[in-house]
Structure formats: structure tokens, C-alpha cells
Chains A and B, each alone.
Chain A
Amino acid sequence: MSRRGFLLLALLPWAPARAQQPGFEALMRRFAALPESRATFTEEKAIPELDLPLPSTGLLAWQAPDRLEKRTTSPIEEVLRVEGGRLDYARPDRGIHREFSLEDQPEMRALVEAIRGTLAGDAAALRRHYEVGFAGAAEGAWRMDLVPLSLRVRAAVQRIRLAGRGAQMLEVDTEGNGGVTRMRITPQP
């Protein structure tokens, strides 16, 4: 999508709507039909205590039903792999490898369930964890607003905004602790 396309997307009149609307269900079905996808990402973390945002780039891989991998390649090397309730975390550059239960990591879980729930097309899972706002626009563009239901999670992550076109996720913005992390995704064939 061109830069102009992005701008247009941002200018669309987003009507806040309940997630039950047909567009949401249809989108979920389209995601559910995709067994796997790969993408590259660039990410920028803006943290109020820092002078400048922290950029990073890497790869995303999705494999239905529940396997999601986020591999950061620069500036640090980091692999985050979620499968079922397990979270594998590795920092190959530091020789660190840990396994967690997703349950014990509410901050991480908030993010994982948002992306994974969408990629899996699991509307019920999304509604279990978030208050879901959805808006569709022309040419299959859509935007989703996820507010964590759990107070405990909301202490760390206040809102996750997803945007995309068709069964493609293009943006993930995570707001928490006064900062925003913006992830831009480029799908790969």
C-alpha cells in the first residue's frame, strides 16, 4: 500500500461500532481460512522517559491454530514464540532461553491474544479478553480497537489498535504506560 493509501485510511470516517456487525464476523472468517502467513515488521517504541523512540525490525510468522512467532533481527536478536499456553523467549545474542506460561505474563498475553486471536479469526477469543471495537471501510480496509477487559492487564496495556486490509494485518499500535509502540507490517507472499 502506498503512503497515500495509509493517509486515506487514517482519514476515513471511523464509525465506532459493536463488534457483532457483519463486517467483523466476515473478516474473522477470512482470517480463519488462512492456515499460515509470514510478514516482515518494523517497530518503533515511544517511551516518555526516553529522548528518542527505539526502533527494531524483524519477521512475523503465523501457523494455525495457535502458533505465533516474532523474530526480531535488529538491533537486538530476540525470538518470541507462542504456542498454546506456552511462551518461549530467547535472546540468541545473550544465550538466554526461557519458557513461561503465558498465564503468568499478563502484559505479554494482552498483546499475544490480540494478534493471535485476529490471525486465527477467533472472534470468541477476542471478546473473552477485550472489549472489541470494529470499523470497516471501502476496499476491505478495517480497523479494530481492543481494550483489555482485565484490570490487571490494563495496568500495563491500555489499548491495542489493529488495522489492515482484507485478511492482512498491517498495523499494530500498543498503548501502555504513557507510551506507544507502533508496528508496521509488510505481508510476504
Chain B
Amino acid sequence: MSLPAHISLILDLTPVPWAALSRASPPLALRSFLAQALVFLHAHLALRNENSVSVFGALPGRSVGLYPPVSRGSRDRGAEEGADENTFHVFQQVDEGLMRRVEEEVAGLEEVEEDAPPALVGALTKSLCYINRLANPPPPLNPTDAPPPAPHARIVLFSVSPDASVAYIPFMNCIFSAQKLKVPIDVCKIDDSEVIFLHQASDLTGGAFVHVDQREALLQYLSMCFLSETETRKTLAVPTQDKVDFRAACFCHKEIVDIGYVCSVCLSIFCKPVAQCSTCHTNFSPDTLVRFGGVGMNGHGASNGTTA
């Protein structure tokens, strides 16, 4: 029998794009999005008894873990709300825990924070850490016991904001960690902004990339493209991006470049030739710099830009 699966959901909860989306046509309010995401989680949990989920939120400037609840000790769900005879008990736990946390976090946002880009990297890192912990459980007390099999984990990332090129380096590091952990990153793009880093994330980790064209059918997208497990994908394919934009952002100004200059020692990327690598402090030979279009020895680029 196949192994249990774990889905780590990353929600972009930035208020500004959500406000825009709720006015767009067709509209998609955060509340209705969350409801559909919950049904998606239910469906995943329904697949197998041993399946599990975790949810992380990316807010402007910070990231939070939304589910599972941090304080595991307090088993308050049953006593507080009263179990419901019309809902599968597993679903109920997720529903209550998640909805409450999202509301708390969104309500707790302050006006000033709203301009900052969402802390996707933070959420991604937390999610990868969580998955890593699942994959490497503490050794059982009784050494003769075989440890429980590690679940197949994958990340499903919902994005509503454009790329934040400032976070290019940490973001790529996340992708590489995911590659190493063999965790596919599925990307569900809900708004229409450009996200070349997310393209790369799904392409490099072997995940699906879906741009939701018809937002009113979000749930259909979710259950058709994002629910199938790694094993199942061998039989029923999932859509990927056929054209992937592999452009990188430069390390000096965090801008996406078409042609970059790469340090021959540490592979850092610059948008202009520089005299010294800012990462590894290698001094480049002045001849080379002249050949690339002439840069003063003080490291300031000349005005003849090289980006096309």
C-alpha cells in the first residue's frame, strides 16, 4: 500500500491583493477562498486515514503557522465546541483550528504593515522545517520498534501577490532545500501578476503550476490538479508550466535581469560588472572589467548599462 501523504498549505494572506480580488470580476473574497481551501484539505484527509496537513500563512512582513495549533497539550476542541454528528471528526478539528487562527491573524494586522511584501520565504521555510521534522521523527523509545514510515510530503502554495525580488536569494535557497527533501512545490496562482520565481519553484521541484483563469471554479482546479499524490501523478498527469522563465535577480539591486554578470568564484549574480564580488570579496582583474564595458576601480558602474 502507498505511504501516507502530507500537504503543507501556504496561504498568501496579504490584505491589499485580497481586497482587490474581492472587487474583481469574478470576485473571490478571502472568506470564500478559505472555505474552498478547507474543502480541499478535507478531500486530502479523506483520501487516507493517515494523511495529515499543515497550514502556514504569509502576512506582510511576517509569517505564521496556522495549523496544527502550537499548543498541542490543550485538547479543548471537543469540550468547547461539542462534537458534531454531521461532520467527520477529523475535518472538524481542522476547520475550527484553522478558521480561528486566520481570523485572529488578519484582524491583528496593523495598517503600517500592509505595504510590506508577504513573507513567503518565512512561510516556506517554516513549512520545510515542519516537513523535515515529520521525515525525521525522534527515535522511538524502544529501539526494536521500526520508526513509522515518513509521509510523502508536498507543498501547495497559493499566491496572490507579484514576486518580491528582494527575497530572491533566500527564496532560491528554499527551493534548493525543497529539492533536497524531495518535496514538490505546487503553485496555485490566483491573481494575474507575474511570478517568475514561483515558476522556477514548481519547475525545479517537479510540482504543478496552475494559473486559475476562472476563479469561480477554484475548487475544481484544486481537486483536479492539486489533490493527486506523487504516485497517482504517474497515471493521471497534472498541468505544469511549459514555458518557464529562468531569469534571475541580481544580488546588488535585487532586480530581475536578462543578462547578468556572474562571479567566477561563488556564482553570485550582478546586473553590472563590479570590481569586487560583494559575496566572496574576490577582486576581478581590471582587464576583464574593461572588456565588459569599463568600470572604475572604485566599483561604481559606468552609465552604459548592460541590461537589455
Tell whether A pairs with B. Answer: no
Residues of chain A touching chain B, judged by Cβ–Cβ distance below 8 Å, are: none
Residues of chain B touching chain A, judged by Cβ–Cβ distance below 8 Å, are: none
